[in-house]
Amino acid sequence: MTYLCRHEVRATGNWFTMTTFVVGEIISCVTYPIQMLVDIFIIDNNPACFIAMSMDILFGICFTLNVLALTVERYISICKPLRAPTMLTQRRIGTVILAIFIYAVFVAMFIPLATPIGFKGDISEVANGCRVSSVIPNRQYVSFVFANFLLPIPVMIIIYCRIYHVVRRHIRAVADLTVIQPQCESGDPSVAGAAAEKNRRMWKREVKSAVLLFVIVISFTICWLPFVVFILIRSFNSVVSPLAYGFIHAVVFSTVAINPIVYGFGNKTYRQAISSVFCGPLMKMFNLDSPVNVNI
């Protein structure tokens, strides 16, 4: 709602953030409940099992690759600030988002449904029941599917190491500029000081964005990595620990509570937009935004 109502939130730089948030909420509100129906064996055969597993893979890949794309976008904005406006255009970002969705649909639905890789029989007769390995019996393809969840994590860590190195170097350079404040040709140091202050504010904003994305990546890794590994093991092993099952699902379900806090209140622009959209009408209703005029 805030994204639709506020123009500043719809900036090109927020497209990946909003797409990641939307996909995360779909996973929280749709995929998790369906997965619970699978876990308690209410969904146990085709075609419901195929739809459930395909949706899990589809939105999981979308979320993972969107977080990776968001990381790359932050890397370009921070490490290549002069080229960022020409590299991060609306068309390119929109194309990347569309390509991620098409790729996820192709991997999760088209190949299992339209090729011999997918299982077309009655899954209720399979010993392991409704699992990824039942819908896709080919173990190599199952490994490829889960590689889409696991491989982006080290890539994001490497990118963040590079971002950290660049940010630390620029912070030191800006600090040196602030201390030295060289005079300009007119002899007035205020111009150089203003430029240094502007540069400092810009980098402070970029650092906050990088920190927000770092929190997103860490929460993604903590909540999703154990879940993906658990599902991968469960796909090929019929015996699982009930304690491990409950703990892993509790952790991954916690993203429902984490996502609104991270996305909604971890960014100053979003906080101001949310406050304007939801608190603005109340302020106007009680005339709290305007002083009280008293005529004597």
Q: What pLDDT, in 10s, does the model give residues 45-94?
A: 767 888 888 888 898 899 889 989 988 988 888 888 888 888 888 899 99
What span, in angstroms and rounded, lies between the C-alpha atoms of 138 and 111?
A: 12
Query: Which of 36-45, 51-60, 175-184 is predicted with the least confidence, judged by mean pLDDT?
Result: 175-184
Q: What confidence tier does 293 reach under pLDDT thresholds 50, 70, 90?
A: very low
Q: Is residue 131 predicted with pLDDT exceeding 80?
A: no
In a domain, 80, yes or no: yes
> What mean pLDDT value characterizes the chain?
74
What span, in angstroms and rounded, lies between the C-alpha atoms of 277 and 254?
A: 26
pLDDT of res. 70: 86
Task: Name the residue with tokens 């304690």.
Answer: 243
In a domain, 92, yes or no: yes
In a domain, 296, yes or no: no
Q: Is residue 103 predicted with pLDDT exceeding 90?
A: yes
In a domain, 49, yes or no: yes
pLDDT of res. 275: 64
Cα torsion 172, 262, 216, 103: sign = negative
The token pair that represents 229 in the structure block: 């590994």
Q: Encode 131-169: b = buried (16+ Cβ within 10 Å), e = exposed.
A: bbbbbbbbeebbeebbebbeebbeebeebbeebeebbee
Query: Which of 58-67, 91-100, 156-165, 280-289 is predicted with the least confidence, judged by mean pLDDT?
Result: 280-289
Per-residue CA distances from 284 to 5, 287, 291 (Å): 17, 5, 12
The pTM assigned to this predicted structure is 0.74
CB 70 within 8 A of CB 215: no
In a domain, 293, yes or no: no
In a domain, 54, yes or no: yes
Q: Is residue 155 predicted with pLDDT exceeding 70?
A: yes
Among 13-17, 71-75, 203-207, top mean pLDDT goes to 71-75
Enclosing domain of residue 134: 2-282
CB 215 within 8 A of CB 255: no
Q: What confidence tier does 139 reach under pLDDT thresholds 50, 70, 90?
A: confident
Angle at 272 between CA 260 and CA 87, to 5 degrees: 80
CB 262 within 8 A of CB 215: yes
pLDDT of res. 1: 56
pLDDT of res. 95: 95
In a domain, 23, yes or no: yes
In a domain, 98, yes or no: yes
Largest CA distance in the chain: 87
* Alpha-helical segments (H) within the chain: 2-5, 15-26, 32-39, 48-79, 84-87, 90-105, 111-114, 132-135, 139-150, 152-180, 189-236, 242-253, 255-259, 265, 268-274, 280-285
CATH number for the domain including 8? 1.20.1070.10
- How far does CA 180 lie from the centroid of its chain? 40
Neighbours of 244 (CB within 10 A): 13
Mean pLDDT for the stretch of residues 124-131: 66
Q: Is residue 150 predicted with pLDDT exceeding 50?
A: yes
Q: What confidence tier does 291 reach under pLDDT thresholds 50, 70, 90?
A: very low
- Among 111, 95, 93, 100, smallest CA distance to 54 is for 111
What span, in angstroms and rounded, lies between the C-alpha atoms of 71 and 60?
A: 17
Q: Is residue 246 predicted with pLDDT exceeding 90?
A: no
Q: Count of domains in the chain?
A: 1
Q: What confidence tier does 29 reach under pLDDT thresholds 50, 70, 90?
A: confident
